[in-house]
Amino acid sequence: MNIYEAKEFVTKVNPEKKVSFGFDKKCIRSIEIIHTNGKAHDDNHIEYDQLMVTYEGEAPYYISISPHREVCSLDWIKNHVATA
CA torsion through residues 62, 14, 58, 24, sign = positive
The domains of the chain are located at 3-82
In tens digits, the chain (84 residues) has pLDDT values of 999 999 999 999 989 999 999 999 899 999 998 888 888 888 899 999 999 999 999 999 999 999 999 999 988 888 877 776
Query: What 3-state class would DSSP assign to 22?
Result: strand
- Distance of alpha carbon 9 from alpha carbon 24, whole angstroms: 20
Question: Diameter of the chain by CA atoms?
Answer: 53
- Distance of alpha carbon 8 from alpha carbon 2, whole angstroms: 10
The answer, as to whether pTM is greater than 0.95, is no
CA torsion through residues 69, 30, 24, 50, sign = positive
